[in-house]
Amino acid sequence: MAFLQLKDIGQTYYSKQAATTALEDITFSVAEGEFISFLGPSGCGKSTLLSIIAGLLSPTTGTVTLRGQHITKPHPKIGYMLQQDYLFPWKTIQENIMTGLKLQHQLTPERIEYTLALMKEIGLSDTLSLYPKALSGGMRQRVALVRTLATNPKLLLLDEPFSALDYQTKLKLEDLVSSTLKEHGKTAILVTHDIGEAIAMSDRIILFSTKPGRLFRSFSVTETLRRRLPFEARQHEDYSMMFQEIWEELEQIEQNDAD
Amino acid sequence: MNKMTPTDPLASYVQQLRKKTIYVRITQVIIFLLFFGLWQLSSTERWIDPLLFSSPAKIVTLLYDKMIDGSLFSHIGMTLSETAIGFVLGTLFGTLLATLIWWFPFLARVLDPYLVILNAMPKVAVGPILIVALGPNITSIIAMGILISIIITTLVIHTAFQGVDENYVKVIRSFGGSKYQCFKEVILPACFPAIISSLKVNVGLSWVGVIVGEFLVSKEGLGYLIIYGFQVFNFTLVLMSLLVIAILATIMYKIVEVLEKKLIRHHH
């Protein structure tokens, strides 16, 4: 049985004027511990699909199952991270990272200790009593990662979590997120429109076409790249080759759109 | 041959700022003195009718007398408690009503035209009906204070609730948070600034409501003193009450400002 299984997912939006199909015939599975990227032009419905997997949105057709369990609403084993940190400005960093535990009534000494250990791991233990506005963008996104990991989800959904950061911070954070998730044996799905980020971080890349969003192609990242941290992977020759290949496929999608 | 030491640019900038503040304060004091000085002068010189416009000296003397014989304080106590109750309850009920229509969007759509009408209507016009319904007593006056602020509070705070960034709510929902948790953890704290600013508006509104209420029914209070002074043609009394109201309203506003600084220190 697959860890995560998506079957015939379709999503249609209705307005008074028309029905718009955002997603169609999405079927695939993810193995435990895998890192998947959703790559595609904007408007291909990749973020919508992520919301469906998170249980935040119910699909018009199809089903999502996590270890055989139907996902119809947010599940404690699924963590979700947004484009920006969305730390609550009126809560201290400590209160922010404990939010998930508080909401799930899991504020036990062990969970709190685990969360504080995560803070130490990402090197922000000394910010606990501060408020988010005192932290830089990169630091805040790291805190947001801890907030997501605090409830110990098995599957992490990352909705362009690096898109609001400057390039240097983004590269550093890619390494941190990649190694943290690997170390804790998490399964992850990353939504991105950055080809390089997808190659550097994932084991498998799923390419989406637009109007309506469909699975276009799937790429396996080579073993050599997978073993490396994202920053090192970017220096490798396999990286450039793969970049070229995906680039051409994306051009193809654009061509099809224009026709 | 310049013997002066080169000035520190920051120090001179700070000094310049301080200078400007001093100029502002001096101008404010001049306006104050000029206004009351001219008023006093024109009253004693009879350029204006002292019976109608009184004079600062007379007002202050009356204020002093009323404070000495203690009668002023019972009036102040009455009006102040009515205003405070009206102001707190108006804001509280307005926030509760806003919460209710946020929780049930159906209700929001149903009530929308009624809220618009109620907001546009001059609430003081309902005064006589209130007195008939609730009796000519303190209850009607407090009701007036509440009525005048509740609708606008509801509208402002409901708009603020709707303006909260959806993504904050998404964070709570992704952890499996309920609607109540979304409200408690995000919607309400995110709207503290809006609630505080409606508190500021309501300070002024509640004074209007209570004074008008006192015009209509009371036997005690600053509004009563104004209407009494008017009836016996004692405009010194009217103006003195007005002065006391101005001072009290300002103090109340300042208290809300202190509250604001404490409550929304960390927002944005």
Per-residue pLDDT of chain A (259 residues; tens, 9 = 90+): 688 888 888 888 888 888 888 888 888 888 888 889 988 877 778 888 888 998 888 888 888 888 888 888 888 888 998 888 899 998 989 999 998 889 888 888 988 988 888 888 888 888 888 888 888 888 888 899 889 888 888 889 998 888 877 888 888 888 888 888 888 888 999 998 888 888 888 888 888 887 777 777 787 777 777 777 787 777 877 777 878 887 887 787 777 777 6
Query: Is B44 within a domain?
Result: yes
Domain boundaries, chain A: 1-74+156-161+189-259
Task: Tell me which chain A residues have a C-beta less than 8 angstroms from the C-beta of B181.
Answer: 103
CATH number of the A1-74+156-161+189-259 domain: 3.40.50.300
Please compute the mean of the pLDDT values over residues B186-198 and round it to a whole number.
89
Residue B4 domain flag: no
Does A54 touch chain B if contact means CB atoms closer than 8 Å? yes
What residues form DSSP beta bridges with A4? A30, A66
Query: Residues B44, B66: one domain?
Result: no
Chain B contact present for A90, CB below 8 A: yes
DSSP code at position A132:
G
Residues B188 and B240 in one domain: yes
B215/B125 same-domain check: yes
* Structure tokens given for B61: 């003397």
Integer Cα distance of B151 and B116 in angstroms: 9
Interchain pair B167, A82: CB under 8 A: yes
Distance of CA A30 to the CA centre of its chain: 13
Q: Which residue in the set B175, B185, B189 is minimally distant from A104, CB to CB?
A: B175
**Domain with B230 in it: what CATH number?**
1.10.3720.10
B17 with B92, same domain: the answer is: no
Query: By percentage, how much of chain B surpasses pLDDT 70?
Result: 97
Same domain flag for B92 and B152 = yes
Which residue from B168, B175, B264 is facing A88, i.e. has the nearest CB? Answer: B168
Write out chain B in H/E/C secondary structure. Answer: CCCCCCCCHHHHHHHHHHHHHHHHHHHHHHHHHHHHHHHHHHHHCCCCCHHHHCCHHHHHHHHHHHHHCCHHHHHHHHHHHHHHHHHHHHHHHHHHHHHHHHHCHHHHHHHHHHHHHHHHCCHHHHHHHHHHHHCCCHHHHHHHHHHHHHHHHHHHHHHHHHCCCHHHHHHHHHCCCCHHHHHHHHHHHHCHHHHHHHHHHHHHHHHHHHHHHHHHCCCCCHHHHHHHHHHCCCHHHHHHHHHHHHHHHHHHHHHHHHHHHHHCCCCC
Closest approach of B204 to chain A, Cα-based (Å): 28
What pLDDT is attached to residue A30?
A: 87
Number of domains in chain B: 2
B253 domain-assigned:
yes
B188 and chain A in contact, CB less than 8 A: no
To the nearest 10 degrees (0 to 180), the angle between helices B105-120 and B138-162 is 130
| A-contacting residues in B 54-93 (Cβ below 8 Å) | none
Whether B151 and B218 map to the same domain: the answer is yes
Give the tens place of pLDDT for each residue, B152-171: 999 999 999 999 999 999 99
pLDDT for B180: 92
Residues B139, B252 within the same domain: yes
| B182 neighbourhood in chain A, CB within 8 Å | none
pLDDT at B1 over 50: no
**Which of B171, B185, B268 has its CB closest to that of A86?**
B171
Task: Please indicate if any CB of chain A lies within 8 Å of the CB of B193.
Answer: no
Confidence band of B177 (pLDDT split at 50, 70, 90): confident
Q: Tally A–B CB contacts below 8 A.
A: 57
Identify the pLDDT of residue B23.
94
**Does the beta carbon of B200 lie under 8 angstroms from any beta carbon of chain A?**
no
Percent of chain B's residues with pLDDT above 90:
54
- Structural domain includes residue B15: yes
Answer yes or no: do B176 and A104 touch at CB < 8 A. Answer: yes
Question: Does A72 contact chain B (CB < 8 Å)?
Answer: no
Closest chain A C-alpha to B176 CA, distance in angstroms: 5
| A245, containing H or E segment | helix A237-258
Flag whether pLDDT at B198 surpasses 90: no
Mutate to test the interface with A, among B168, B171, B192, B196 (most CBs of A within 10 A): B171
Residue from B103, B79, B101 nearest B214 by CA: B79
- Residue A89 in contact with partner chain B when CB distance is under 8 A: yes
Residue A88 at interface with chain B, using a CB cutoff of 8 Å: yes
Q: pLDDT at residue B265 above 80?
A: no
Contact predicate B143/B134, CB 8 Å:
yes
Domain housing B33: 9-48
The answer to whether residue B259 sits within a structural domain is yes
Nearest by CB to A90, from B171, B173, B189: name it.
B189
Specify whether the backbone of B233 is left (phi greater than 0), alpha (psi in -120 to 50) or beta. left
Distance, CA of B179 to chain centre? 33
Q: For residues B213 and B150, state if they share a domain.
A: yes
Residue B242 included in any domain: yes
Q: Is A114 on the interface with B (CB under 8 A)?
A: no
- Please, what is the average pLDDT of chain B? 89
In this model, does residue B268 exceed pLDDT 60?
no
Instruction: State how far the Cα of B167 lies from the Cα of A222, in Å rounded to an integer.
Output: 35
Which residue type is seen at B214?
A: E
pLDDT of residue B7 exceeding 80, the answer is no
Q: Do B79 and B167 have their domain in common?
A: yes
Substitution target from A90, A105, A148, A158 for chain B, most B beta carbons within 10 A: A90
Q: Does residue B53 form part of some domain?
A: no
B106/B41 same-domain check? no
In a domain, B149, yes or no: yes
Q: What is the pLDDT of residues B23-68, one digit of tens each?
A: 999 999 999 999 999 999 999 999 988 888 899 999 999 999 999 9
Q: Are residues B27 and B105 in the same domain?
A: no
- B66 in the same domain as B41: no
- The C-alpha of A75 sits at a distance from chain B's nearest C-alpha, in angstroms, of 7
Judging contacts by C-beta atoms under 8 Å, the chain B residues touching residue A107 are none
